[in-house]
Amino acid sequence: MSTYILVPGMCHGAWCFDELSTSLRDAGHRVLAITLTGVAERAHLLPGGVNLDTHIADVLAAIDNDSAADDHLILVGHSYGGMVITGAADRIPDRVDSLVFLDALVPRDGDACWDLVNDEERQWYVAVDDTGFGVPPMPFFDDRATSHPLATVLQPLRLRGELSRFRSRVFVYALDWPGDSPLRPSYERVRHDPSWVVHELDGKHNLMRDKPEDLLRILLEVSPQ
């Protein structure tokens, strides 16, 4: 049995993993899906004071408060969640077994989310909501989606070590973007690296919805035998 820590992308809550969480539990694993501060059902929590460090702290606190969490954690991040799982794993490397980036950002030391995406994505970030602190959800997002704290995409991530410390590093790339994928630079960072396992799925960015069976198979393969 493995423990999967699931971290959503911008504007989304833990509910975006509901189907995947159920499937992983049915396969005998433990799952901890996290809603980050200032987003979704936690949108009331001072979004103007929330940055990337806050979200990393969310994940670390959730792990610490889960008495059943073991020391062989599999951290899974979707989209922006790649920033968060990288930062969290860097803080507790002895407890993390593997990292899975679901069409997600793969940062290095000093990178901000802003640095890793394309101009179209940056234009979305700066089209802030009425508070001036939030990136509004896209019109096609789930009705439960809310604005996302702007500072989280601007703050650079500071890392103490390399991702090579972890047993397995997996990248899952969504091929069906309407234009150039803002995750392509992260994909290009790892696609030819033999120390990474890279998958390409013919689905849209929300792979949890578009390719649930393929995604479940990939995640189950990550679990230590």
Question: What are the structural domains, with CATH classification, of the chain?
Answer: 3-222 (3.40.50.1820)
Residue type, 146: T
pTM of the model: 0.95
223 is catalytic: no
Catalytic residue among 2, 21, 23, 79: 79
Q: How far apart are CA 2 and CA 173, in angstroms?
A: 23
φ, ψ (nearest 5 deg) of residue 125: -55, -45
pLDDT tens over the chain, length 225 residues? 899 999 999 999 999 999 999 999 999 999 999 999 988 677 666 656 899 999 999 999 999 988 666 778 999 999 999 999 999 999 999 999 999 999 999 999 999 999 999 999 999 999 999 999 999 999 999 999 999 999 999 999 999 999 999 999 999 999 999 889 999 999 999 999 999 999 999 999 999 999 999 999 999 999 986
